[in-house]
Amino acid sequence: MSLDVDTVILNMDTVNFLGISIVGQSSARGDNGIYVANIMKVIPLQAANIASGGAVALDGRISAGDMILQVNDISFDNFTNDQAVDVLR
């Protein structure tokens, strides 16, 4: 099984949160990992002429079901959900 790996750099200057929930999975097939479970949707705030949503939704390149391999030089290989949450915060 081959993976398409994309590097995504998020601009955290415009929003102060990622806006995702994550889930850890493991199976006998060896597809262990931390995955994006849900993404907070972008909601336009017309009165203020801005958008509300996390950095992931505003960027648009990450989808629910995507595996998170690394964040800021920290590999998520064999990470638990709690360990991943600590890094993502």
Per residue in 3-53, pLDDT (tens digit) is 789 999 998 888 889 999 999 876 666 568 999 999 998 776 666 556 667
For residue 1 the two structure tokens come to 């099984």
Can you give the pLDDT at residue 29?
62
Domains of the chain: 20-88 (2.30.42.10)
Per residue in 44-79, pLDDT (tens digit) is 666 655 666 789 998 999 999 999 999 999 999 988
Contacts of 57 (CB under 8 A, 6+ apart): 19, 39, 40, 41, 42
Of 82 and 51, which is predicted with more confidence? Answer: 82
Q: How far is CA 88 from CA 18, 19, 20, 22, in A?
A: 8, 11, 10, 10
Roughly how many angstroms between the first and final C-alpha of the chain, as a whole number? 31
